Structures are given as structure tokens and as C-alpha cells.
Amino acid sequence: MTVVSGKVRSKRWAGAARGGTIALLAMVLAGCLTACVTEGGTHSKEGQAPTDPKEAERRARIHMELAGGYFGRGQTADALDEVKQALAAKPDLPSAYALRGLIYGAQGDSGKADESFHRALQLAPHDGDTMHNYGWFLCQQKRYAESDAQFAQALAEPSYRAASRTLLAQGVCQAKAGQLADSEHTLSRSYELDPANPTTAVNLSEVLYKRGEYERARFYIRRVNTKDELVSAQTLWLAARIERKLGQDAQVQDLGAQLRKRFPQAPETLLFEKGKFDE
């Protein structure tokens, strides 16, 4: 899953499978809609739990890959159907419940999402990825204390290998909760682990700007804006607001010219034209 603040736009809940893989898996499933023969010679209809553990594992894996592909393309109903079929084949599959939580969250059904994440963590209590995703869901629900606890638990898992990602998510949520000092500390830790991540740099710059640390905020946003492929209306607008606080009128006008030229229809450009730097 990819996490961003409201200042940097990207896909919500990333995780699409490759298109070629999806097409291939669809062909495999097409031949199993009525009856399949497992390696041990056991017959079972699609939607029923296979009696052969290897066949159950294979079928669950296929449905999960399809579910991930559908979910990555925003087809939540199809993704949910595939997850249900994965669980029919393997009812104790933690990753299926975790993905189901993400799907229900995307559909706005917070109750079922909560239930799904809880079940996933009952089955796999040390799964840092599930803790991370549940933490982000809780953040979206503005349940900030619970969200922070989930991120902390993920980071405490000895086998967890995505600390920079979780620190980024935790820092963004702390900022949303108004805990700017904590957010700065958390995002700084994320940046130390992954200084090449532009999302971390932008969020850290935003927090520093809100805290009045304009020189430091300038350092991080400049690291993003010096790379043409990373520049966006949001990053230029943040830089313009920082330069204005520093009294650098020439820099402000230069950034405004870039906004007009590159992103003439962006909301940030309209704010610049209206002089609404504090909004």
C-alpha cells in the first residue's frame, strides 16, 4: 500500500497484479468452473472447499492474485468476490481477511473492514503488513490513537522489513491528528531510512512549514523540485509558500511562473493567483 498526505496525490491502496498474470489466471480459472481434477484425483466444484490441501492452496492463491489485480484497478466488487472464493477454498487464510479489510475500507464499510482486520490479526498476530494496513485504515477513520498503536506494533516486530513505509504513514497520521512535533520526529526517522522517497520529503517539508521551520522546510522541498519528474503543482505551491515566509519575493514569483506554465488549471495555481498563501 502506498501512503500519502492530502498534499501529494497518488493511487489509494496500491497493489495491482501484472495484467499478463491476470489474463493467464483467468484462463486457468475458466477451465475449472464446473469440475477440476486435483493431483490426488479428488473432484470438487468451484466455490466448494477442496478436499486436497494442495488443491485448496493452489485455488486460494489464484483467487488472491485475481483479487489483488481487481483491487489495484479499483474494481472492489470483483475483488471482494475473489476474496470470498479464496476463503471458501482456505478459510484460515490471513492475507484474504487482510485484503478483505482493505476492500471494505475502500467501499466505506468500516464495520466489516474492522472485523476483517481483527480476524487477520487473530490468524497472524505478528504480520507487520496487516498492522500497517490496519493502522492506515484507522487513520482514515480519524481513530488516531488506535492508528498510532498499530503502526508502533508493526515497527516492533523483529521480522518487519518496511519500517520506512510505516514511519511515513505514522508521521502523516500524526500530522492529521495535529501532533506536529511527533510527526516531525517520525517523518525524520523515515527520511533517514529512505532519503530517496519524495513523498517523505514533501510531508516532512509540510510539517516543518507548519511548525515555522522555514529554512529546514526549504531544504526538503528543494530536493524534490530539483528533479523534474517529481515536480507537481503541490510541490511548487509548498515551495512558494515557504519562500514567501522567508521574504524571497523573486523566488516566489519564479515558482508562480512555473505553476502558470506547467499546471495552469491546478487549484494551487488559482490559490497563487488569488494570493491565498495561508490556505
**CB-based contacts of 253-262 (< 8 A; 24+ apart in sequence):** 258/231, 259/233, 262/231, 262/233, 262/236
Cell of 192: 533517514
The predicted structure's pLDDT at residue 135? 98
Residue 270: helix, strand or coil by DSSP? helix
User: pLDDT at position 279, please?
Assistant: 78
Report the pLDDT value the prediction gives residue 2, as an integer from 0 to 100.
36
Q: Is the residue at 211 inside a domain?
A: no
| 272 in any annotated domain | yes
Asked if 44 and 50 touch (Cβ cutoff 8 Å), the reply is yes
Note whether residue 188 is domain-resident. no
Percent of the chain's residues with pLDDT above 90: 80
Name, in order, each residue with C-beta under 8 angstroms of 256's C-beta and a sequence gap of 6 or more.
240, 272, 273
- The mean pLDDT of 254-271, rounded to a whole number, is 98
Last residue of a domain, one of 96, 123, 153: 96
Query: What's residue 36's pLDDT?
Result: 30
Number of structural domains the chain divides into? 2
Give, in degrees to the nearest 5, the angle at Cα 103 between 100 and 109. 100
Residue 177 maps to a domain: no
Residue 109 has pLDDT above 70, yes or no: yes
Which pLDDT belongs to residue 101? 98
Q: Which of 96, 119, 145 is the last residue of a domain?
A: 96
User: Which has more pLDDT, 2 or 33?
Assistant: 2
How is 49-68 classified by DSSP, letter by letter? PPSSHHHHHHHHHHHHHHHH
The pLDDT of residue 49 is 62
Could you list the residue range(s) of the whole structural domain that residue 84 is in?
1-96
- pLDDT (0 to 100) of residue 231: 98
CB atoms within 10 A of CB 172: 27
Domain endpoint, select from 96, 128, 144: 96
Percent of the chain with pLDDT over 70: 82
Tell me, yes or no, whether 264 lies in a domain: yes
| Structural domain contains residue 165 | no
Model confidence over 74-88: pLDDT tens digits?
Answer: 999 999 999 999 999
Q: 124 in a domain, yes or no?
A: no
Q: Which residue has the higher pLDDT, 271 or 8?
A: 271
Q: Check residue 4 and give its pLDDT.
A: 41
In terms of Cα–Cα distance, which of 190, 157, 196 is closest to 172? 190
In a domain, 226, yes or no: yes
pLDDT tens for each residue of 218-259:
999 999 999 999 999 999 999 999 999 999 999 999 999 999
